[in-house]
Amino acid sequence: MEINLAAQSTSVSEDVLREIGNKRDWTRHYDIKVSLVNNPKSPPDISMNFIRHMRDKDLKMISKSKNVPGVVSSTAKRIILQKQESQLLKLS
C-alpha cells in the first residue's frame, strides 16, 4: 500500500505524516499505525494517538528504539509495565 510506504518514509514532511495519521480510512490498518509510530519524523501527538493500539512485540521494539521521540518510547515502557502489573494482579 502506497500510504504505508509514505508513513514509513523519513523523507516525507511532518504535514504529510499528520495528514495520514488523521485519515481514519488509512489508520484502520495496523501496519500504517506501526509505521507512523516508528517514523522519527512523525509528530509525537500523532504517534501518541496510536501507541495504545500497539501489540506487545511492537511496544517492546518502540520502547527500545532510539529513533522515536523520548515521550513515545517512555510511554511504550509505561504501557508494558502496566500490562505486566495487571498480569501479576490477575495471578494473585
Query: Residue 63's pLDDT is what?
Result: 97
Amino acid at 17: L
**Which residue stretches of the chain have pLDDT < 70?**
92
What are the boundaries of each domain within the chain? 2-91
Max Cα distance, the chain (Å): 49
Query: Residue 92's pLDDT is what?
Result: 65
What's the pTM? 0.90
How many whole angstroms separate alpha carbon 16 and alpha carbon 23?
Answer: 11
Query: Residue 8's pLDDT is what?
Result: 96
